[in-house]
């Protein structure tokens, strides 16, 4: 791996987002790491004790739903195959808390027959076994989840807009927040987010939940609905119960991946459906102290629906798809970040 270098960036303004000045410590080029055991998109990741975990996903041009569960060891640069998810899911979020990995919600079915699910599972890191836990109060997919102060917060995503909701067009975006307490194994209603959206990303910095990017499925003047990207960054303080709105992303993107390292938010890739179909290679870093963004080197492979994990000064972005809606890959690229 090449030695990290310091790359100075000047402050500019893009789509209303101020980019911070000074230096952004980062390796100027991405390098390759061990690819996923199989190509997958629409996956999420969590980390625990220096390992990254990911589960489920779509494969074979979004025609197959997976139940694989894998852990990535960056020291050995290899993937481990763990006990499979009890059921195949895509857009299923993962959160690590108290010696367990929690897998929540997601969709069953290949596109366009996506059915939001309320199922929830916990993987015991000691026994290597999955157990079923109380279901989500509302079935949902394309949401985010975050663990803070012993609880898991499930935010946004898409929920059923019709009684059956077995087709992509049957869903609606939500700003709803539900909170799971693993000790009492109960769900409670949280404070709704300011923006209803799907395909966003989230991280936890300083005990606060950062929700960024995503998109909204909006009806157009001609009567057709289309995915419209959003750039907003919203932060939830679990202690005060208040949401705050911060500087938006420099470029609106849905289907992004995010990670946090040394108190900063890193966002990668994404796609757009309108005004033209495009998959992004963009990499961004957000400084909460300055409330500003800066550009980082583009990924080698433009992707959406990928997962990201930060471990020991390096950020790994794996899986995803290279075409809007499909094109799943096993690519794993890493960027060394030195603060």
At 67-115, the pLDDT tens digits run 999 999 999 999 999 999 999 999 999 999 999 999 999 999 998 899 9
> Does residue 188 belong to any structural domain of this protein?
yes
Burial of 297 per CB tally in 10 Å (0-12, 13-18, 19+): middle
Q: Is residue 1 part of a domain?
A: no
Is the separation of the CB atoms in 66 and 38 below 8 Å? yes
Sign of CA pseudo-dihedral 182, 183, 189, 195:
negative
Classify residue 273: in a domain, yes or no.
yes
Q: How many independent structural domains does the chain possess?
A: 1
What pLDDT does residue 19 have? Answer: 57
E strand or H helix at 200: none
* Domain around 312: 6-336
Whether residue 167 lies inside any domain: the answer is yes
- Residue by residue, pLDDT tens for the chain (339 residues) are 333 322 333 333 444 455 554 445 444 589 999 999 999 999 999 999 999 999 999 999 889 999 999 999 999 999 999 999 999 999 999 999 999 999 999 999 998 899 999 999 999 999 999 999 999 999 999 999 999 999 999 999 999 988 788 888 889 999 999 999 999 999 999 999 999 999 999 999 999 999 999 999 998 788 788 999 999 999 999 999 999 999 999 999 999 999 999 999 999 999 999 999 999 999 999 999 999 999 999 999 999 999 999 999 999 999 999 999 999 999 999 999 865
**Closest listed residue to residue 306, CA positions, set 249, 265, 263, 254:** 254
Q: Read off the pTM.
A: 0.92
One DSSP character per residue, 121-173 reads EEEETTTTEEEEEPPPSS-EES-EEEEETTEEEEE--EEESSSS--SGGGEEE
Tokens 């025609």, residue located: 63
Which run of H or of E encompasses 49? none
Task: Please tell me the predicted confidence (pLDDT) of residue 20.
Answer: 54
CATH of the domain at 291: 2.120.10.80
Within a domain: residue 163? yes
Q: Is residue 223 part of a domain?
A: yes
Residue 225 lies in a domain: yes
pLDDT (tens digit per residue) in 161-176: 887 888 888 899 999 9
């Amino acid at each position: 791996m090449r030695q990290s270098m310091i790359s100075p960036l000047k402050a500019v303004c893009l789509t209303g987002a101020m980019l911070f000045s000074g230096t952004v410590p980062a390796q100027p080029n991405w390098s390759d790491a061990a690819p996923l055991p199989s190509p997958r998109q629409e996956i999420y990741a969590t980390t625990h004790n220096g390992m990254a975990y990911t589960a489920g996903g779509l494969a074979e041009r979004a025609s197959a739903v997976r139940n694989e569960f894998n852990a990535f060891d960056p020291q050995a640069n290899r993937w481990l195959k763990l006990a499979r998810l009890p059921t195949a899911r895509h857009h299923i979020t993962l959160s690590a808390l108290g010696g367990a990995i929690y897998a929540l919600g997601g969709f069953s079915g290949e596109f366009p027959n996506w059915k939001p699910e309320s199922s929830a599972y916990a993987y015991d890191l000691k026994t290597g076994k999955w157990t079923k836990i109380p279901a989500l109060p509302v079935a949902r997919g394309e949401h985010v989840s975050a663990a803070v102060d012993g609880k898991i917060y499930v935010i946004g995503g898409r929920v059923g807009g019709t009684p059956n909701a077995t087709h992509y067009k049957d869903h609606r975006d939500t700003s709803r927040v539900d909170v799971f307490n693993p000790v009492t194994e109960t769900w409670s209603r949280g404070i709704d987010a300011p923006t209803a959206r799907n395909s966003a990303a989230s991280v936890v910095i300083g005990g606060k939940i950062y929700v960024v990017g995503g998109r909204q499925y909006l009806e157009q003047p001609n009567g057709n609905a289309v995915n419209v990207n959003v750039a907003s960054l919203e932060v939830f303080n679990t202690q005060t119960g208040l949401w705050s709105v911060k500087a938006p992303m420099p470029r609106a993107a849905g289907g992004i991946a995010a990670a946090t390292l040394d108190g900063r938010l890193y966002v990668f890739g994404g796609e757009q459906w309108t005004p033209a179909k495009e998959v992004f290679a963009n990499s961004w870093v957000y400084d909460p102290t300055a409330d500003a963004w800066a550009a980082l080197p583009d990924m080698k492979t433009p992707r959406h629906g990928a997962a990201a994990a930060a471990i020991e000064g390096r950020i790994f972005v794996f899986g995803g798809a290279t075409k809007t809606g499909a094109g799943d890959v096993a690519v794993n690229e890493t960027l060394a970040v030195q603060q």
